[in-house]
Chains A and B, each alone.
Chain A
Amino acid sequence: MKKQPRSLWQRFAISLPYAWLVAFFLVPFLIVLKISFSQGAIALPPYRPVLDLTAGWQGIERFFTGLSFDNYRLLGSDPLYLLSYVKSLEIAAFSTLMLLVIGYPIAYGMARTPRRLQAVLVVLVMLPFWTSFLIRIYAWMNILQRDGPLNELLMTLHIVREPPVWLATDTAIYIGIVYSYLPFMVLPLYAVLEKLDESLLEAAADLGCPRWKTFWLVTLPLSSPGVLAGVLLCFIPIVGEFVIPDLLGGSRAPMIGQTIWMEFFGNKDWPTASAVAIVLVCLLVTPIVVFQHQAMRGGERS
């Protein structure tokens, strides 16, 4: 099979990143998987069983008989976890939809401006992404506080009489998410819309198709790869989001990222935190597999 033996350089270029990823990605993930089947213990590390290789075969046997599905049973029986998953998926789904509705007109407008201006606009949309995530959320804490500029504006315009409470609500979470993820939605949409062949739109117009119908029948279907990319780029990280709900939302109904954080740092229940994490990974892998399947089918068609 091999045409020539690999040079020392090639072997080095493969094995160094390979070894790094095995040590710091694969092995840690397997440890999480293992601990999710363990029981909590008041010890260090705070879980049982611990693999004891010095005890030989017996140690390995004791290790495997000690594993159990108890943590997963707990996830199913305690509504706290179920609600947490549902809330995360719900927030991710609605905010992705909002991002699409808000981001599409912006990307569409960008793609239609003169070329020279487009480059500037791309930098302008990307720039907030380079400033810290935490700082952008913190900026909204400033705006949404009780005597903050938003309430001041609403009061001066006589839209409300009493200053409404924004912080520690789901509304604040939605605002924070839409704000932080907008570049991730706009840029993939723009990348597709910018390449759109305008003669197709002209052809539709020449044949008497109204503009909204052209958009619906030509532009939107042709931009579907960008829509899919944007939706995935937003939906997946939003499900596991921690910082935004923690700083802007309340603690009564936590999202799943907060639940993992609390189980780990608050309750010191490492096995349960691990089980919650494993279920989350399984939830997130599904849309990615669907996407890959779609992408492969699309590749066959063209």
Chain B
Amino acid sequence: MRKVSIFNIFAIVLGIAFLYLPIVILVIYSFNVSRLVAVWGGWSTRWYAELAGDNEILQAAFTSLRVALVSASAATVLGTLAAVALVRFGRFRGRLLFASMIYAPLVMPEVITGLSLLLLFVAVEVDRGFWTVVIAHTTMAMCFVTVIVQSRLVDFDISLEEAAMDLGAPPLRTFLSITLPLILPAIVAAWMLAFALSLDDLVVASFTTGPGATTLPIRIYSAVRLGVKPEINAVCSIFVGIVGMTVLIASLLAKLTGARGTPARP
């Protein structure tokens, strides 16, 4: 039987408190009526109301969502293909270079990823804006997608695929009707991660953006560089609320589908 000591409980409670207290404080301050964030003036939803009229912030949030939707989807397709190629196709010419290019961006500092992509966009003389940020985020996220899908592909029984091939199914057919349904949970998880990465990114987007494509993190960053602002507290609280709900629902869903054993057929 496992024994949980007082010390163990103490470490967990303190650790969780450390992780959550700053966010709780941020949310509480967002309801502060006073413009001076640190001076408590009473509860109010004033900053949320002001937010509704702040077109710049709303525009930036909308841009961020669009970038995240497009880049997460593109990264999921590219990353899944790369994972299948690495795990299932055996040796092919240039596999080593391919594998290195998958893993290298995972450890590349964001500043360098952003810098190098900007230099590329300057060299080929494209106008920077929405699509350059999408390309940058797709490149950044697809490697994470590959790693997640790869671990799922390694886990499951390859004989299922071999059976389909023996029965005469061509490779594409085998992939679509056997492999894809089996790795679907991993693909969904990878898409969510790619979406979150894109929504979160400040550095790469700052390098690759152009006029008319200000994302929410860039907007927040330029607002808070010189200090805290109550409106930003409200934006952040809404963001935290949405993310918290999404992750809770996703983990509940994962639990439900996981309890049923094999994932449902589409």
Contacts and interface: CB of A to CB of B under 8 A. Distances in A.
Interface of A: 1, 6-10, 12-14, 16-18, 20-22, 24-29, 31-32, 35, 45, 102-103, 105-106, 108-110, 112-114, 121, 123-128, 130-136, 138-143, 145-149, 152, 179, 182-183, 186, 198, 236-237, 239-243, 246-247, 257, 260-261, 264, 270, 273-274, 277, 280-281, 284, 288
Contact of B171 (A9, A138, A198): A9
A141 B25 CA distance: 11
16 contacts: A17-B85, A21-B82, A21-B98, A24-B117, A105-B8, A105-B11, A105-B15, A132-B200, A133-B200, A134-B202, A135-B239, A141-B224, A198-B2, A277-B116, A280-B112, A284-B107
Interface of B: 2-5, 7-12, 14-16, 18-20, 22-23, 25-26, 29, 36-39, 78-79, 81-82, 84-85, 89, 91-92, 94, 98, 101-102, 104-105, 107-112, 115-117, 119-120, 122-123, 135-136, 138-139, 142, 146, 170-172, 175, 196, 199-200, 202-203, 207, 217, 220-221, 224-225, 227-228, 232-233, 236, 239-240, 243-244, 246-247, 251
A125 B19 contact: yes
Contact of A141 (B9, B172, B217, B227): B227
Contacts of A45: 122-123
Most buried by A among B23, B94, B175, B246: B23
Given A147-B38, A247-B225, A274-B115, A25 B172 contact: no
B64 to A, nearest CB: 10
The A interface, classified by DSSP as helix, strand, loop or mixed, is helix
B118 to A, nearest CB: 8
Contacts of A264: 115, 207
Nearest to B89: A10
A239 B39 CA distance: 36
Nearest to B233: A142
Contacts of A140: 22
A61 B20 CA distance: 60
Most buried by A among B29, B85, B135, B246: B85
Nearest to A27: B120
B109 A274 contact: no
B18 A242 contact: no
Most buried by B among A21, A114, A264: A21
